Amino acid sequence: MKGLRHAKIKEIIDQQVVETQEELAEALRRHGIEVTQATVSRDIKELMLIKVPAGDGGYRYAFPSDQGMILSQSRMERTFRDSVMSIGSSENIIVMRTLPGTAQAVAYTIDYVKWPEILGTVAGDDTIFVVVTAREHIDTVIAKFRAML
């Protein structure tokens, strides 16, 4: 069902101006797909939709302009499962060990999703340092990472 819904969202975004989550939910309902606002919100994050100027002073949902660089949630999870060996932390830094040569790809996915708890990453060949905004967010971020493994 999610795949069908995501395909329909792509079609809707490509064919019409959608300014709000409610407009997107209503468009999906018109196509026979019943959704909640929470589901639409998750879909927007998973599809990595962005808001761009609509030309009339408003904003509309769109896909990033570089379609080749889009990372879906499933691609991010696959990258984590295929590469991450361990996750640890100290204070507000998470240290991830990866298979040799894969740290940069994993760090790119972390930077790309722009989670508000993460300031940025530094990646070597098989190690990534993830700097978290505050120590109290460490457990939350680690839980998100482990959910992808």
| Strands of the 127-132 sheet, one edge to the other | 84-90, 93-98, 127-132, 118-123
Report d(CA 12, CA 67) in Å as an integer. Answer: 17
For 60-81, how does the pLDDT look when each residue is reduced to its tens digit (9 = 90+)? 888 876 444 456 677 788 889 9
CATH placement of domain 2-66:
1.10.10.10
Range 27-33 contact pairs with CB under 8 angstroms and sequence separation of 24 or more: 33/4, 33/5, 33/8
For 20-61, how does the pLDDT look when each residue is reduced to its tens digit (9 = 90+)? 999 999 999 999 999 998 999 989 888 888 877 766 667 888
Contact 76/84 with Cβ under 8 angstroms?
no
For 129-148, how does the pLDDT look when each residue is reduced to its tens digit (9 = 90+)? 999 999 999 999 999 999 99
Cite the residue boundaries of each domain of the chain with CATH code 3.30.1360.40: 73-147
131 sits in the region (left: phi over 0; alpha: psi -120 to 50; else beta) called beta
The CB density around residue 94, as the number of other CB atoms within 10 Å, is: 22
Class level of CATH domain 73-147:
alpha beta
Report d(CA 137, CA 149) in Å as an integer. Answer: 19
Helix axis angle for 21-30 and 2-15, nearest 10°, is 110
Helix (H), strand (E) at residue 90: strand 84-90
Cite the residue boundaries of each domain of the chain with CATH code 1.10.10.10: 2-66
pLDDT at res. 68: 45
